[in-house]
Each structure stands twice: as C-alpha cells, then as structure tokens.
Chain A
Amino acid sequence: MKILSTSGKIIVLIIILSLISLMGYAIFGSRVNIKTSPLVGTVAPDFALKTFDGEDLKLSDLKGKTVLLNFWASWCMPCRQEAEALEKSWQKYKGKDVVFIGVNVWDENSNALSYLNKFGGGYPHGMDPNEEIQVDYGVGGVPETFFIDPSGNIRDKFSGPLTEQIIDYFVLKAQKPQNNES
C-alpha cells in the first residue's frame, strides 16, 4: 500500500533532517559560548562577611586585588580534597595582591570551626549569614570557586575540587587585563 508519493517522501525527509539539524544546533551549537555561570564577565555581587576570627570583611573593600572566593561546607568531601591546595596556594600568593576568602554554606558553626582546625584556615573564612551570598553567586553545590579580577569583575567560576595548577591558571588569568573574550 503506497501512502506517500515520492515528492511527499522527500518533504517528510527534509522535515526530519531539519528537525535533527535544529536539535543538533540546540545541543552542540551554542556550547562554544556557554559560560560556567551567567555572572562570568559581570561585576561580582558585593557582600559583607563576619569571619570566624570576628573580623568584618567586605568585597568592595578589596578593589585592586585579585580575589579567590571559595564556597565550602564541612560535610563536603571534595572540599576536604581541595583544602590542601587552597592552603598552599594562599601561602604562595600571600602579599601578591591576591586575597583568598572562604564562604561556609549550609553548615553548623561548630562543624565549620573543627573543619578549619583540621584542614587549615590561614585565610579569612566566614559563614554566609543569611545563606544569601551563595544565591547571589548562583552557587548550586560545594565546592564552587569564583575568580574576581582587580576591577571587581568575575572572570571565572570553577565547580569541583581545585588543585594548585587550576588555582594558578585562574588566578594568573584574573590578574591579566581582560580581553574581549566570550
């Protein structure tokens, strides 16, 4: 039984191929320009943090410095994995206009403090007071790290445990003047 004529078959084939091409474009086409966060390339949301040492810290006071902003929690295993690299890198960049800040989220104060005692807390860490900073930064999980350049723009976001090499790459990138990269 012949349902479609030859021209009908050609039209159906064209429609199917067009749909496959559109799906391909939707899936792979725009991937080149996908940023890790819509905030990359924009001004970093300002925040105020009370550190576990009792000091007040404000992001806007750190203009002119490169900032590594790391979101972590004591129950997070990948955070423990990256702790050593963060501590070593902080030592390395100390006094070189690079500031490391740790923002503790979804955690208990006592657990956060014992984590810092165990894994090191040389640089300032504080608890997100209203659990609002992480939403301002679009954090979906921990660890997530933002690299903010000296002019206060978010240059990159990295999800997952950091290594010293990854930190070096993004810190050096954030220190360089921004090109018109997408």
Chain B
Amino acid sequence: MTNSSTINTFILYTFLFMATLIALQTQSLAQGSIDDQVKEISALLMCPVCQGQSIGESNSNLAHDMREITRRQLEEGKSKEEILAYFVNSYGESILASPPPKGINWLLWLLPGVAIIFGGLGITLYLYKSQGNKTKEQDTSKRIKPEVDNDYIKKIEEELEKGDS
C-alpha cells in the first residue's frame, strides 16, 4: 500500500514536472516566434527621426516605442500587414523601407531596370562601333601599306638603276 502510494506520488510529480516543462517550452517557442516577427517587421519600417535606419537598427526612443508597439500588436493577434498599415496611417508611406509599387513609386522599381537595359545597350553600341572603326582602320592600313611599299621599292629600283648606269 505504501509502495503503491509512493509510486502514485512519483507519477503525479513526474506528470506535473513534464507539464510545466512543456508549458515553459511552448511559451519560449511562442516568445521566440514573436521576437522573430518583431525583428522582421522592424526591418520593414524606417525610423522617422533617423538617417537611413530602420526601427530595428535605431536606438532612438521613438524606434524603441515603435518596436514595443509592434510587439504589443503581435501579442494582440494583429497580422504583419495590419501593423504596417497602422504605421503607414500615422506616418505615411515614407515610413516603409521599400515603398509599395504604385503611382510615382513605380519609377523607383522600374528605373534601375531601365537604367541597366539602356546602360547595357549603350556599352554594347559603344563597343560595337569602336570595334567596327578599328576593323575599318586595320583594313585601310592593310590596303595602303602595299602601295607605300611599292612606291618605296620602285624608288629603290630607280636608284639602283641609276647607280648601275
């Protein structure tokens, strides 16, 4: 009877220990997941009072508050999009690290591509033209060279003939 009671107590404590462990582990995983999400969202928002820093990178009071608000909103179950929309609503689209591709913002997304295409075309055109000019010059010099040589040889022959006579 005593043995059975000891075993029961042992099982109960083991169960409680395991349950606590699982609860702690789950909490830590959830915490880790929220931390990751805060980091992810913080990288998408620019600090309004800093120079080119996201709220994840900045140590300013405002960036700190914005990270805390992000955490609170995540804990309340808000999605990434809802949180970003909240900050855009307060600070405008300039708060976003990458502006959404709409309106005049399209230029920001298209211009680098256009610049690469036109730059590439320009360089190709330049190389093509300069190569063409080089070939032309080489052809011309090839054609001229024998004539020059012929004249020179002719003159030598004339001089030799004069010398002979």
A interface residues with partner B (beta carbon < 8 Å):
1-4, 8, 15, 19, 22, 25-26, 30, 37-39, 106, 130-132, 134-141
Contacts and interface: CB of A to CB of B under 8 A. Distances in A.
Given A1-B133, A3-B129, A141 B49 contact: yes
A25 B125 CA distance: 31
Interface in B82-107: 87-92, 104, 107
A3 B49 contact: no
A106 B130 CA distance: 64
Nearest to B92: A38
B91 A3 contact: no
Contacts of B130: 1, 3
B69 interface: yes
Interface of A is mostly: loop
17 contacts: A1-B130, A1-B133, A3-B125, A3-B130, A19-B111, A37-B92, A38-B88, A106-B62, A131-B65, A132-B65, A134-B65, A135-B69, A135-B87, A135-B90, A140-B48, A140-B91, A141-B49
A123 to B, nearest CB: 24
A120 to B, nearest CB: 25
B141 interface: no
Nearest to B88: A38
Nearest to B122: A12
A136 B68 contact: no
Contacts of B107: 22, 26
Contacts of A38: 88-92
Contacts of B48: 138, 140
Contacts of A138: 48, 90-92
B150 interface: no
A3 B61 CA distance: 56
A25 B104 contact: yes
B66 interface: yes
B15 interface: no
